[in-house]
Amino acid sequence: MINRRKFLRHSVLSTGAILLAQQLNAKSNLEVKLPLVISTWAPNVKANKAAWEILSKSGRALDAVEKGVMVVEADPDDTSVGYGGLPDRDGNVTLDACIMDELGGNGSVMCIENIMHPISVARLVMEKTPHVILAGKGAFEFAIQQGFKKENLLTASSEKFWKEWLKTSMYNPMDTMKHMKQKRAPGSIDNHDTIGMLAMDVNGNLSGACSTSGMAFKMKGRVGDSPIIGAGLFVDNEIGAATATGVGEEVIRICGSHTVVEAMRYGKSPREACQIAVERMYKLRKNNLNDMQIGFIAVNKSGEIGAFALNEGFTYAYRLGDGIDVVKSADFLLKK
Ligand code: ASP
């Protein structure tokens, strides 16, 4: 039974949202705490906080995920997203991002350079063009036409790190990972930690956003899962949403985030659905994956959240209706 008084105390809700919450509770027996936001990786509590500024004022989930992700994109100390992202093997910072709204709208940019906020460009691709993906030079030119500034995204510290890497130029993601461990988010076991963010607003609408500079020292032109709808992110406003972090090549192979949402469609909880995607990946590729990290987070339409990773060390951060920051370590498949 829903504890209505508690529900009202902890949430900023419109009447419509209360009705929705009652319907959801009737269906799932859960106490829904709206709004909610969940992000990959512990340091992204800062992104959740920014998203919360919108969500707690009954704002739209789409605005919240864009705003949250922008915080990380602008952070020079986050070396795997936006400004300060580690470059490709030739020294170019190339960024991938995508966004999905509650109406099934989606927009992506791939391999865009010199633009601080690829997530906002992705949103404009969705809202202002007849297309869903713009890549490379075309994405950059579109951004400039839309008023974005051309900026150098390679910070002195990331450049130093790249020059250090050039001495060996080991193009092996796992070796590179060992090389750079100290630079990554706590708990990351390899050289990437995309922000994927999912939010549900007080009206029960879902949106998601995903942004990354991809794998450090990748080949020029390499695109990972993060800007690919269904791989790095998938939102179905009737069912739920999921997003991924980790080695994009593996996530793409199984259309990871779509797989998670489809498992929820057939009744799995968000955590079970994330585990199904990880297990499918492992079944395909087995020992190739031992040293890699791949993690999923998900939320269903009842406001239940969950996560699962391939290896130990994947963390996620969330705020539910009470607005309190929570950080958790995900369960994982490969117990050593
Ligand atoms: N998934 C991203 C990619 O493969 C990397 C990451 O999660 O850090 O590009």
Annotated active-site residue 129? The verdict is: no
Q: What is the pLDDT of residue 287?
A: 80
> 179 CA to middle of ligand 1, Å?
17
Confidence of residue 289 (pLDDT cuts 50, 70, 90): confident
> 8 CA to middle of ligand 1, Å?
38
In a domain, 25, yes or no: no
The minimum-distance atom of ligand 1 relative to the CA of 224 is 9
In a domain, 3, yes or no: no
CATH of residue 228's domain is: 3.60.20.30
> 213 CA to middle of ligand 1, Å?
8
CA dist 22 and 183 (Å) reads: 45
CA nearest ligand 1 atom 9, residue: 214
Q: What HEC string does the chain produce?
A: CCCHHHHHHHCCCCHHHHHHHHHHHHHHCCCCCCCEEEEECHHHHHHHHHHHHHHCCCCCHHHHHHHHHHHHHCCCCCCCCCCCCCCCCCCCCEEEEEEECCCCCEEEEEEEECCCCHHHHHHHHHHHCCCCEEEHHHHHHHHHHCCCCCCCCCCHHHHHHHHHHHCCCCCCHHHHHHHHHHHCCCCCCCCCCCEEEEEECCCCCEEEEEEECCCCCCCCCCCCCCCCECCCEEEECCCEEEEEEECHHHHHHCCHHHHHHHHHHCCCCHHHHHHHHHHHHHHHHHHHHCCCCEEEEEEECCCCEEEEECCCCCEEEEECCCCCEEEEECCECCCC
The minimum-distance atom of ligand 1 relative to the CA of 248 is 4
Pocket of ligand 1 from Cβ distances under 6 Å: 80, 192-194, 212, 214-215, 224-226, 245-248
> 10 CA to middle of ligand 1, Å?
35
Q: What is the pLDDT of residue 130?
A: 98
Q: What is the pLDDT of residue 33?
A: 79
In a domain, 24, yes or no: no
1 pLDDT higher than 90: no
Residue 44: domain span:
32-332
* Mean pLDDT score of the chain: 88
In a domain, 22, yes or no: no
In a domain, 18, yes or no: no
For residue range 39-56, what is the model confidence (pLDDT) as tens digits?
A: 999 999 999 999 999 999
Q: What is the pLDDT of residue 169?
A: 84
In a domain, 143, yes or no: yes
In a domain, 2, yes or no: no
Count of domains for the chain: 1
The minimum-distance atom of ligand 1 relative to the CA of 232 is 1
